Structure 1
Amino acid sequence: MKKDLGIKLGKSFEFRGEIYKVFIFLVFILLGSRMAYLQIVKKDKYNYLAQKNRVKLRKIDAERGNIYDSNGELIVTNTLGYRLVYLNQRNVSEDQLKEMAEATGYAQEYLQRRVKYGEIVPYTRENILIDDLELTLAHKLMEKIGDYPYLEVQSYSKRKYIHDSLAAHTIGYVKKITEKEYETLKEQGYSPRDIVGKTGIEKVYDLQMKGKPGYDYIEVNALNRAQKIEKNKDPVPGYNLHLSVDMRLQEYMEKIFEEQNLSGSIIALEAQTGKVLTMVSYPTYSLTTFSSKISQEEWDEITNDSRKPLTNKSISGEYPPGSVFKPFSAFAFFNNGLDPKTKIYDNGVYSIGKWSWRAWKKGGHGTVDFEKSIVESVNPYYYRYADQFGLEPIIDVAGSFG
């Protein structure tokens, strides 16, 4: 029985060995097929992915377009800005913090927070320590930068507002894009590090003025650190803008507001074309300050000003239209049968029940027809016929004029 059992076991082991051979053969067939599929069929795809891991693109910002007034005077351009970059990513010693504090005048605690939480540029691993260096400090650091091998002063294109606060609400300012803005604009080619227009012309024509960025090829190693940088595509500058605003007239009008301590708005249009010649909203604010760093003290001073300098009074807020609306009301009256030569007598007040509305001229304007109502701005003339013809005709005429 032992002999027979041995024969049976031998046949069993032999059978299992054949199964293992077939299994191993199939595994090698599968592996070989997969390798052939990846290396032959999908060669282009994985070659592209490998190159993508090895070679990165670094964006080079385009120079933003200039802005000129109606006389061809340059009012907004670009200048060199400077930023201080820390080259050791997030590793910093107490001695380095002390040296940086002495060199920059910034507190060690502030610099430590910037090293720990500051923005690091992809691939080059540069940590942006101070994004907008003052010019004198930048030059001072550049002279001594050899003493600080872990620091670098970099230049970039920065917006320059020639007149600073003149026509500030109309021109607007630029600043770094917010997360919310990026989510809205990323489909148009914006990146999370872009500088964008926040208000005014800078915002409305941002896409045209921002230009198209260039790119550098950066070869990186396995640790994703730059080994070689090659220029690939030069940036394309943005378009220049030419405004209809006359800055000499703008300056003259704003000076009147300043001298008389006024708060308000004035707009002058060219009658034949509708071009805006001047658009004053006063008080105004510094575009240079708002496009750079703004201190808490400066922000508090502006926001606590009862005259609301940040509000563009030319287009914001709700105000009674005043006498400039009288021609529209008159068209509504004429459409409903009023003869412009019809005369009424104005004694200085128009009453409905217990309510009364007065003329600006004490005692009234006497006998008034349409022409006199416009020349002398006779309010009771319009009170009377608005009461007679009602609201709807006036609304229809206003709508037809846009």
Structure 2
Amino acid sequence: MVSSTDPTASPLSRKRTERFSPSPGDDRPSDSKKLRALVSSRSFAEDLKAKPANNIALAGPHIDVIGKVDCKQALVFQLVDSGMRVLVIVQNLGGSVQDFLRRQQVMAMCLAELAGGKYLELNEDERLSHNQTEFIIDREDLIIQPSQGQWKFADSVPLRILSFDIETNVPLNNTFPNPRNDSAIQIGNIVQEKGDTTRSYRVIFTLDGCSAIAGAEVRSFQTETAMLSAWRQFLLECDPDIVTGHNIACFDFMYLITRAKMLGIHDFACLGRLKDRNTEVVEQLDSSGWQHAPVLPGRLQFDTLQYFKQRGKDVGCSLNTLAARYLGSNKESDVDYTIINRLQGGTNDDRRRLAVYCLKDCDLVLRLLFSEQNMCIEEAVTAARQSKSCRPFGSFLS
């Protein structure tokens, strides 16, 4: 296990936007280039205008008000379908957590039941997490239901998914950005619930002013410190079950955490549901080398770059190539990484152009997750269920 907050670590890397047409003299362009030549060049700003109104409810807690829970009634997790998130503290495990899970044959996404009259709800000042409520129960009274029949995991469970992407200043020599020197300048976000692509909440966090974007909320900040602090608070408030993005494991998460540490935002890395528990990065060794799997306590991390790379879904795994192949779409073609600094240092309209580019990346990731050709989350859950070891969800992507 390694720390993800060391500012002296080697520079992070990120694949840059690929060109959309063959190079001069290239009479045998690659398949990915051929695909990109066929996709529409319509701006995502036009697509946003046609989308349903921004659903502000997805920007906050799963439910606004929680009534007092009747602890005399049995509580089955899946039946709490209003969206309430809970933490259950199990006492007297009789060994380690891993031993307990193995003895109880706990499978990924299985259903658990708290026996009526056997659990207690904790007061707010006693809680260990940011969850909306917490219970305490003895291990003998926690019932793990078999994943079959009425207890089989249903796709309708309303998992809330946050897709995010960051933009940073680019070094003058156009090399990869380094968090020790280059600021984070924008963070794009789209929140949806699994199975419901008609409702979403779209917001861009941007350093300095930005013109309005139809179909999205714009939040502008004068300092990078203010922007990063506000984004962390936003993540806690929208409370996603799954956080996704393209190359977020090796770039976006580690970049933001490193920048926040350098700026003195001491609580920034606490991005999970447990209070005072920082995000950590597990390195998983497989046949292709070390893969990073950020662990956000209480949340699942799903990196589409790792998924497509490790599952052998495609030889070319850039977001542009994958979107062209599976979605018939592409990134915003009028923004190249070499002009990011100019756009950021320009007018509010220039920063709007960059913000649309950032939001488009978030949208492409969600569309890849929900595409019928891939069934990304379902495959990861199946792999987790077939494993006999207790590993982070993100590690199954490798």
Q: TM-score range by the shorter chain?
A: under 0.3
Say which structure, 1 or 2, has more relative contact order (CA 8 Å, 6+ apart): 2
TM-score by length of 2: 0.19
TM-score (norm 1): 0.18
**Radius of gyration: which is bigger?**
1
Which protein is richer in helix relative to its size? 1
